[in-house]
Structure 1
Amino acid sequence: MNWSAADASQFMNSEDDEDYSPQGSATVTTTIRQSNGVSVNSSPQKSVQIVDTRNYSNQPSVNARAALVMDAQTGEVLYSKNSNTALPIASITKLMTAVVTADARLNMSEEITLQQIDFAGAGGKNSSSTLKVGDTMNRAEMLLVALMKSENPAAAALARTYPGGRPAFVAAMNAKARQLGMTSTHYYESTGLDPRNVASARDLGILVSTAYQYGLIRQFSTTPHYDFNLGYRVLKSNNTNALVRNGGWNINISKTGYINEAGRCVVMHAVVNNRPAAVVLLGASSTQARNNDATELFSWLSHQPKRI
């Protein structure tokens, strides 16, 4: 499937404007028309409350510095490790970048051309990328490449082209975090390169459950492969999460992250044993350790009762 301007516009703008709340706070009714023409209704957006019970036995051991498994419907904590500690979150940041972009209801068909400033990086880090200055995509594809391939210049360009520019975008990220009750979270920029972008695993459980309510983010973050036609070349891209590429689990939201200060991170929403769950791993020592942790938690969850 290729995301044409028409597809992207239809995908984002098929909501009934009467039912739309720009802040995404109480009632957002979204109808997504996929490329096959089938309409998919997402549930109205609701606030997420976390209930810490941890009444589950045989708790697994994980390599990650912090972890959370939360029932995404009830907010019940099923597994927790250092889940209230604010840590650098690297490109997990881009999940909030996607939420703010979606909330703004901008024209997803608008063409965005990458500028030199989008490659400047943040936090003293360079923004390595297979993208180049002058590459042009519509906003939908810019969001897609930011979520599935974690391209930093794309996330930077989304902030730059937001009404009011980057300062307004970062302000909207922090306002959304406060609105959702993400009390340990702070954002300085939209890519995750800045290690001052921090959140707790608990906060990210809230963010994952919120992001699940956006059909666009569900689809884009779990696209396994995509070929971006840039006109003069085709950029063949794979999802940064091997668990998404391999297709062994029912994963609906995915975002990976890595900078030195954060270690290997991942957040996911998945349905395991008929239970929707948010899974957060921060600060794993390697990509393999992160994948092993996630598989261990999924396997453990698959043997738990659906409800207490």
Structure 2
Amino acid sequence: MKKSRKFLTHVLGMSVLLSISTAGMAELVVNPGQTNSGQATLSWSSEEASQLLNGDASVASLNSSEEFSPQGSTKVTTSVRNGGAVSTSAPKTAYIADTSSYSSQPSVNARAALVMDAQTGEVLYSKNTNVALPIASITKLMTAVVTADARLNMSEEITLQQIDFAGAGGKNSSSTLKAGDTMNRAEMLLVALMKSENPAAAALARTYPGGRSAFVAAMNAKARQLGMNSTHYVESTGLDVRNIASARDLGILVSASSQYGLIRQFSTTAHYDFNLGYRVLKSNNTNALVRNGGWNINISKTGYINEAGRCVVMHTTVNNRPAVVVLLGASSSQARTNDATNLMNWVSQLPKRI
């Protein structure tokens, strides 16, 4: 069996995902430790990533308390009780109303856009943020969250089947992968996030306990748990136009995703070579801003189908300000990149709240 890839050594994963409630945007981001059930969800830790690297076929649940400060947030204390239930405590944070009152706001090509301060939840820029639109492969970010939440064996080998290439509505599913290609689950997640390979995302759903229907149900349940009220998923790749969400909802999803070490690392990998045994698949990130460097990007996912246009979501740090950027429905890849660059340059000039 192939060894888990060296890339996993760089995962600096947190051990607890702090889920987001349905409160105001500031509370969604700054005080994410409360879920509807009062519990948080376990995520992958750096220690567990090392176990994957060493070929350990199973990962034990955490049984100790830990304190840490999420990116740009207040400290949250978590404790794991017998049976795996997680209790959390975090100070309440005052709601900061949405505001787009800053002068000289840039115009964007995209149909919908959101820029949010990831530390305070303040909306810095908004355009059609509450309109539910097709989201194409931005879907794969939720696919990654559901995969990580399930705490499945990431070393397990998965072989792509012809059904994983079926796509939706006749859309092209992959130009590089083939039925019979085998990767472990971690590699499937990596190639789905960085290269946006649809068969990999389909295989992750197919091999989920209960299969595709259970996976899609978990996607929609997670969206409801996070307060993504305009979101609906019908499959795991994004090829289906019925996968929809608003820019606001995707801002919530990006904030939640930033708490997963594997997703942060995998979605921002610029280049990676997958050894498929009989060939090496050289792969590049679909986001030019990740490939070219120059920006501190912590989460990235692009998307495209005709109905959705060019889309991207990012969690980035600009001039020491953590920010979430969402763009839906740009007319071209270059327009999407220009929009994102202009917005991040604009954010870098904004005064910070005191």
State TM-score, norm by structure 1. Answer: 0.89
Q: Which runs of 5+ in 1 are unaligned?
A: none
Q: 1:178 to 1:128 in 2, by over 3 A?
A: same
**Aligned ranges 1:1-308 → 2 under 5 Å:** 4-5=3-4, 25=35, 26-27=39-40, 28=42, 31-33=45-47, 43=70, 51-307=97-353
Residue 273 of structure 1 and its aligned partner are, at CA, apart by 1.2
Contact persistence 1:9–1:107 (CA under 8 A):
no
Give the letter for the 2:248 counterpart.
R
- 3-state SS of 1:52 partner: coil
Q: 1:29 to 1:113 in 2, by over 3 A?
A: closer
Report the identity percentage: 79
Residue 307 of structure 1 and its aligned partner are, at CA, apart by 1.7
Aligned residues: 300
Q: Could you give the per-residue CA deviations for residues 129-160 of structure 1, whole angstroms, max 9, x where no partner exists?
A: 30000000000000000000000000000000
Q: Distance in 1 between matches of 2:5 and 2:288?
A: 30
Residue 31 of structure 1 and its aligned partner are, at CA, apart by 3.1
Q: 1:42 to 1:159 in 2, by over 3 A?
A: farther
Residue 122 of structure 1 and its aligned partner are, at CA, apart by 1.6
Match of 2:57 in 1: none
- 3-state SS of 2:115 partner: strand
Residue 75 of structure 1 and its aligned partner are, at CA, apart by 1.2
Q: Distance in 1 between matches of 2:333 and 2:249?
A: 22
Residue 59 of structure 1 and its aligned partner are, at CA, apart by 0.9
Give the letter for the 2:252 counterpart.
I
Q: 1:151 to 1:60 in 2, by over 3 A?
A: same
Contact persistence 2:113–2:127 (CA under 8 A):
yes
Contact persistence 2:19–2:226 (CA under 8 A):
no
Q: 1:7 to 1:164 in 2, by over 3 A?
A: farther
Q: Distance in 2 between matches of 1:241 and 1:186?
A: 24
Q: 1:30 to 1:130 in 2, by over 3 A?
A: closer
Q: 1:64 to 1:9 in 2, by over 3 A?
A: closer
Bigger Rg over Cα: 2
Contact persistence 1:8–1:109 (CA under 8 A):
no
Q: 1:30 to 1:121 in 2, by over 3 A?
A: closer
Contact persistence 2:167–2:239 (CA under 8 A):
yes
Q: Distance in 2 between matches of 1:199 and 1:259?
A: 15
Q: Distance in 2 between matches of 1:169 and 1:241?
A: 26
Residue 4 of structure 1 and its aligned partner are, at CA, apart by 3.7
Taking only aligned residues, the RMSD between alpha carbons, in angstroms, comes to 2.9
Contact persistence 2:17–2:260 (CA under 8 A):
no
Give the letter for the 2:4 counterpart.
A
Contact persistence 2:17–2:256 (CA under 8 A):
no
Q: Distance in 1 between matches of 2:129 and 2:286?
A: 24
Q: Could you give the per-residue CA deviations for residues 181-224 of structure 1, whole angstroms, max 9, x where no partner exists?
A: 00100000000000000000000000000000001000000000
Moved more, 234-243 or 50-59: 50-59
Q: Distance in 2 between matches of 1:123 and 1:159?
A: 18
